[in-house]
Amino acid sequence: MKVAILGYGTVGGGVATVLEQNEKKIAQYLGEDMTLAHILDLRTFPGDRNEDLVTDDFEKILADESVRVICEAMGGLHPAYEFTKKALDKGISVCTSNKELVSTHGPELVQLAKDRHCSYLFEASVGGGIPLLRPFSTTLMHERITRVTGVLNGTTNYILTRMEEGDAFETALLRAQQKGYAEKDPTADIEGIDACRKTAILASLAGGAYVSPDEIPTEGITGITSVDFDYARTNGYAIRLIGQVTLTGGATGALVAPFLVPEEHPLAGVHDVFNACIVHGNMLGNVMFFGPGAGDKATASAVVSDMLDAALHDGSHVFVNLTNVPALRMDDEAMMNRFFVRVDETAKNAAVRAFGEDITFMEARSVRGEWAFITPKISEQAFRDALHSLDEVRGYLRVLK
Ligand code: HSE
């Protein structure tokens, strides 16, 4: 079984390592060797053990009839989209970690794979190495999924963990960059865009109807300060960037935002670059998936699991529950959360007028000159309306149940 890798970076390099180090286990399971035949990259890799396999010509890989599975680890939309389409069109399965491509064009690519009797698989696109996505298309298919709640971005979770320990945002970001977690341009991570793409994929799989990342309200972590952590610590909360999916009455609601998470909640115990996801099924109740959300070998392990699945089903299509049917979007009136709000101390009465008498005031050890409170459960729409009626808002976070 010949395979190729597109993109010899962190994930592509990891896939080469997994194929090499677990060669025997892979051959045992597959019944034959899985042999790396080509690597596509514009760069050259003098001295690398796979130096001779590297080409900058995608057509050369396509022309090799013996290649049956391709790992696309290029990232970005273009030319990953075009290369994936060409490969699937030829009946070659493609396995990817590219959440941008999957969340944007996934349904079309899955349909093309189905038409050409091959597979488009993307386990590594959400939750790094955690075997999180496959259950949505296999063991959970009979369940009515009602909620998916996850810590889905390793970089921001690392930053929030450092801030919890007293680092300022800028220091924590710098440390994340030094450790190789955050990109030089960290926008996609810190603004929640990466988590949004992952949430869109989860929402689409959970409901069996497509949710575009463009439809998901997204807030990142750049507005969080040491003041928020002071309140969180004083009142027994952690702060986590959460991807939240709610499915009721045939509609899907999703959002990405930083939440206060009670210390006893399992997601509060997810630190550093780890990810976790709680899935609620109507018969099953809650199940939680936890593990390394990033990292070369962990993510590559998930890609290789897909490559094996595709190889074992060479000539046929491996089902994934990602369809072209657009999801019915949940009304903002139906999306409910509790909110932690900080206002100037002069705005206490206005806050009570806007949010009602049921708000719970909160204190922080070393914060003066402001009022902070948690609202009862209200809709996203009601929150926005109330917020707009207040002049002196210093910040807000949602609160996880
Ligand atoms: N930038 C991503 C993260 C990589 O930090 O989670 C894994 O998808």
For residue range 58-86, what is the model confidence (pLDDT) as tens digits?
A: 999 999 999 999 999 999 999 999 999 99
Which residues lie closer than 8 Å to 153 by C-beta, 6 or more apart?
189, 192, 194, 195, 198, 241, 275, 293
Q: Ligand 1: which atom is nearest the Cα of residue 198?
A: 8
- Nearest ligand 1 atom, CA 97: 8
Task: Give the CATH architecture of domain 135-291.
Answer: 2-Layer Sandwich (3.30)
Name the residue ranges covered by the structural domains of the chain.
Answer: 2-129+296-312, 135-291, 336-399
Between the CA of 29 and the centroid of ligand 1 the distance, in Å, is 29
The CA distance from 72 to 63, in Å, is 17
Question: 208 has which bridge partners?
Answer: none
pLDDT band at 377 (very low <50, low <70, confident <90, very high): very high
Best of 123, 153, 161 to mutate for ligand 1, by most ligand atoms within 8 A of CB?
A: 153
Dihedrals φ, ψ of 141, to 5°?
-60, -25
Q: Residue 393 has what pLDDT? A: 94
pLDDT beyond 90 at 367: no
Which distant-in-sequence residues (6+ apart) come within 8 Å of 320 by Cβ?
110, 119, 120, 121, 122, 133, 137, 205
- The size of the chain, in residues, is 401
User: Strand, coil or helix: what is 32?
Assistant: coil
Domain 336-399: CATH class, spelled out: alpha beta
Angle, vertex CA 72, rays to CA 191 and CA 324, nearest 5: 70
**Is the pTM of the predicted complex or chain greater than 0.95?**
yes
Predicted confidence band of residue 351 (pLDDT cuts 50, 70, 90): very high
To the nearest whole percent, how much of the chain has pLDDT over 90? 95
Best probe residue, ligand 1, of 151, 181, 271, 299 (max atoms within 8 Å of C-beta): 181
Active site residue 2: no
Assign domain 2-129+296-312 to its CATH superfamily. Answer: NAD(P)-binding Rossmann-like Domain (3.40.50.720)
Residue 356's pLDDT band (cuts 50, 70, 90): very high
pLDDT at residue 285 in the model: 98
Q: Would you call 286 helix, strand, or coil by DSSP?
A: strand
* Phi–psi pair at 362, nearest 5 degrees: -125, 145
Residue 242: which pLDDT band, with cuts at 50, 70 and 90? very high
pLDDT of residue 181: 84
What backbone phi and psi angles, to 5 degrees, belong to 230? -65, -50
Distance of CA 369 to the CA centre of its chain: 37
